[in-house]
Structure 1
Amino acid sequence: DPDLADLFFVPAYHGVQYNDFLEVKTHEPDVEKRFPYLARHRGMDHFFVVSANLPSWETLHPLRHVMQLTVESYQVNDNVPRWYSPWKDVMIPGYIDRWRIKSMRSYNKPTSERGFLLVFHGNHPGTHKLYVTHKAKVRTAILDAFTGIPDCSVGAHVPDFFDRMGRSHFCLVPRGSSAWTIHLYESFFFGCVPVILSDFLEVPFQRAVDWPALSIKWPEDRVGPELLEHLRAIPLERIAEMKRRLEEAACYFDFHRGWGVRKPEDPVGWMSWSPDAVALGEDCDYLSHGDASSADSCRGSCDKDPHGCNLVNFLQPGSPQSPSGEDEKVASCVLRLCRDPAQPALTGGAAGWQVWSKVSDEALGCSPYAAIFEELEARRLHRPVSHGPLWN
């Protein structure tokens, strides 16, 4: 019932769709009839996703109070400032593919095995005109300051980029064509402490993530010997602690987490996943088979397993399964050890199978979706109740 809704989600729009829908239609004379719930609180209970390029509407009256979920905190195109407010809008991280996250983690070396002090490899004004247009001078400053220093690896794209990131203590994260760059979120999976060189960047999820404990923010106009001296002065023990905190917070920047919901009937400490699926692959190592007489017995076998079982694939007795092409009644309990039981990779099409994993509430809450809803809830709670033509 929309009359009882606390928030309204408007799907993402891009390019001319902003003008065709959000700009034009919300400025038409009958806007309050066309969008009665938008008018109810003048948009304060509406939010929409801006995946790229902040809007630059000149007339903001119907929409100036809506909440944006955006990767952009500051952007200037064609000398038109784009609007963003940290008081109401919600910063979200950029998306990284699951296969890419897995690959980045495979290159993540322990602190004691990292030979580079700092790394930056990417586009800059010398390789791409976009960075000239948007005056990303800090990227040129990085090359000027650190090129040729033995334990500093900087420059354009290189084929062994993942290897260098995984072997560096610090990853430089300069602004690009706008304030944000995907390099920031990649650093969480490389275990490479980010050094943010973007003065207007607002980092996401500040309620959930202790950013000063796992990153460094440094002024763009002071990139040079002073920054190098500062990084060299940080003790290895502190770098290792920052790396540990960085990796603990990585779950907030992985959009493949948080899609599971614990059901009220799930046993304490356990969570059921999609039916007719199994967890396979390198993320969930096979341990052994357990008691398949019931789901409870199967989970009990996992609890007793000495090798750290945290997930079971269970096929209940009496389930039709015909691996040999003939119908037969089978039961099976497969015990597995998953790298992250809150994020198992599931394979569908497994008729009759169930997947159960041992997941804490804390692990379930460590996801970008949980952090986004926490931010939205905070804004809802602090919304003026009297804002708009009526209150209820």
Structure 2
Amino acid sequence: MHNLTLPMQELLLHNQYLKGIKQGLAHTTIFEYIAFKSLERYEFRVKDPEEADLFYVPLFAALFNGLKDYANIDTIIIPQLRAFGKYFDRYGGVDYAFIQMLFSQDNIPITVHQQKTLASMITLGDLNYNYSKYQMRESWRNVNFPLTSNIAQQFEIKPESSRHISTFFIGQINLTDFDTVAAPIREGMANVMRVIPHSIVIDARRYDPITGVYSYNFSRMMSNSKFCCVPHGDGPTTKRLFDTFRTLCIPIVLSDEIKFPFEDLFINYPEILIQIPAFEPDRIPIAMSIPSTKRKLSMKKNMIRVSHLLEQKFDYNIEKGNLMWGWLWVHYFKLSTVAASKRRTLLQSRYLD
């Protein structure tokens, strides 16, 4: 593996990521930085690009959300890669890996068009389930990864009676910035939750200094909740899902298009969450009533069991069962096919003489 560094990206990571780490507020998309630092120390990293099977490009694309012109793949990034040498064009970019820990949209470096046409391997923070199911040739290159939770993992499973909130949600209800289906899903969910006894719904306004999410001690409220509703957000995935695993609050997911990280590979999600149709919030009370006490206990134990795989750690070590180990394994299967083609030396055919 060869680790490329682009000057603008290196400057940005210090300004955006490192300050947050020092303050204990890891950015939602911090995996881009963790991957960069981990691969710097990777034992199979090579200095000679001729020996590399995979070229990792620390793009830090999520930090250019709304600023695509400063990290445009076609006009800025690929020309820099070509200036580095012949390697990007040698195999059409199939042996390159990019990470963008947000969903693709029009004003971010890896747009929907790039997601479909860029030959390189792409790690995204959000991936549409139907896309991964019906666009198999394209999605073979793509993988989605967990967003960062800043909440410390709970390992002690408290008695059910100590969780006094029946179901909990915090977030913006009238969410219309990117995905038009988010608002009706959230409004329907909130209306149902408000009539459930002992439930809490907090309509936290984004970027508002008074009613913003971080004005509330929401991690404590989640830790004292039996269930946490997780609706469709700006994209199918939402950061709050990963907060539920950390607080052992059983998530009820209302997002039809969500693609879970490591789904059916390392994690069996029916063992740690409940999913109901996004536009059928009336099922929330039913979903709350179905799991037995034994089942709830099992789900929480499984959340703890997968916590190591989902945790964003800042020791930058690659060890069995952690997040970077998972990233490398996912890419290993793809890379094996690419590397086999790159390394093969064909004999001259006698039919071409």
What's the TM-score bracket when you normalise by the shorter of the two chains? 0.5 to 0.7
Structure 2: runs of 5+ lacking an equivalent: 1-47, 105-109, 130-135, 205-214, 346-353
Is the 8 Å Cα contact of residues 189 and 250 (structure 1) preserved in structure 2?
yes
Shift of 1:20: 4.8
Which of these residues, 158, 163, 177, is aligned with residue 109 of structure 1?
158
Larger radius of gyration: 1
Q: Which moved more, 1:373-382 or 1:49-58?
A: 49-58
**Equivalent residue for 1:23?**
74
Is the 8 Å Cα contact of residues 109 and 191 (structure 1) preserved in structure 2?
no
**Equivalent residue for 2:199?**
152
Q: Which moved more, 1:377-386 or 1:178-187?
A: 377-386
1:231-270 aligned at under 5 Å gives the runs: 231-256=288-313, 259-260=316-317
Are 1:199 and 2:256 counterparts? yes
Q: How much is the aligned-residue C-alpha RMSD, in angstroms?
A: 3.4
**Equivalent residue for 1:218?**
276
**Equivalent residue for 2:52?**
5
Amino acid at match of 2:234: S
Distance in structure 2 (CA, Å) of the matches to 1:249 and 1:59:
32
**Equivalent residue for 1:344?**
none
Which of these residues, 186, 189, 202, is aligned with residue 142 of structure 1?
189
Which of these residues, 327, 336, 353, is aligned with residue 381 of structure 1?
336
Shift of 1:386: 4.4
Distance in structure 1 (CA, Å) of the matches to 2:163 and 2:89:
56
Distance in structure 2 (CA, Å) of the matches to 1:60 and 1:130:
21
Distance in structure 2 (CA, Å) of the matches to 1:108 and 1:257:
26
Amino acid at match of 2:49: P
**Equivalent residue for 2:86?**
36
Structure 1: runs of 5+ lacking an equivalent: 76-82, 262-363
1:220-369 aligned at under 5 Å gives the runs: 220-224=278-282, 226-256=283-313, 259-260=316-317, 364-369=319-324
- Residue by residue over 1:156-179, the C-alpha shift from the partner in whole angstroms, topping out at 9 and shown as x without a partner, is 248342232112222211111222
Is the 8 Å Cα contact of residues 119 and 168 (structure 1) preserved in structure 2?
yes
- Residue by residue over 1:101-146, the C-alpha shift from the partner in whole angstroms, topping out at 9 and shown as x without a partner, is 26xx399734352233322121110xx5537856432111111112
Shift of 1:219: 1.6
Is the 8 Å Cα contact of residues 196 and 217 (structure 1) preserved in structure 2?
yes
Is the 8 Å Cα contact of residues 53 and 72 (structure 1) preserved in structure 2?
yes
- SS of corresponding position for 1:130: coil
- SS of corresponding position for 1:24: helix
Are 1:166 and 2:219 counterparts? no
**Equivalent residue for 2:118?**
64
Is the 8 Å Cα contact of residues 192 and 281 (structure 2) preserved in structure 1?
yes
Distance in structure 1 (CA, Å) of the matches to 2:313 and 2:123:
18
Distance in structure 1 (CA, Å) of the matches to 2:314 and 2:161:
29
**Equivalent residue for 2:102?**
52
**Equivalent residue for 2:147?**
94
Is the 8 Å Cα contact of residues 107 and 162 (structure 1) preserved in structure 2?
no
Distance in structure 1 (CA, Å) of the matches to 2:278 and 2:177:
18
TM-score in terms of structure 1 length: 0.60
Higher strand residue share: 1
Is the 8 Å Cα contact of residues 252 and 367 (structure 1) preserved in structure 2?
yes
- SS of corresponding position for 2:152: helix
- SS of corresponding position for 1:101: coil
How many aligned positions are there? 272
Q: 1:155 to 1:31 in 2, by over 3 A?
A: closer
Shift of 1:85: 4.9
Q: 1:108 to 1:248 in 2, by over 3 A?
A: same
Distance in structure 1 (CA, Å) of the matches to 2:244 and 2:199:
16
- Residue by residue over 1:186-223, the C-alpha shift from the partner in whole angstroms, topping out at 9 and shown as x without a partner, is 11110112222212221112322222211122221122
Amino acid at match of 2:86: P
Q: Which moved more, 1:176-185 or 1:158-167?
A: 158-167
Higher helix residue share: 2
Shift of 1:245: 0.3
Q: 1:375 to 1:26 in 2, by over 3 A?
A: same
Q: Which has the higher contact order (CA 8 A, sep 6+)?
A: 2
- SS of corresponding position for 1:170: strand
Structure 1 residue ranges (4+ consecutive) displaced by more than 6 angstroms after TM superposition: 30-34
Q: Which moved more, 1:188-197 or 1:105-114?
A: 105-114
- SS of corresponding position for 1:370: helix
Distance in structure 2 (CA, Å) of the matches to 1:148 and 1:214:
26
- Residue by residue over 1:300-357, the C-alpha shift from the partner in whole angstroms, topping out at 9 and shown as x without a partner, is xxxxxxxxxxxxxxxxxxxxxxxxxxxxxxxxxxxxxxxxxxxxxxxxxxxxxxxxxx
Is the 8 Å Cα contact of residues 74 and 84 (structure 1) preserved in structure 2?
no
Shift of 1:3: 1.7
**Equivalent residue for 1:284?**
none
Is the 8 Å Cα contact of residues 179 and 235 (structure 2) preserved in structure 1?
no
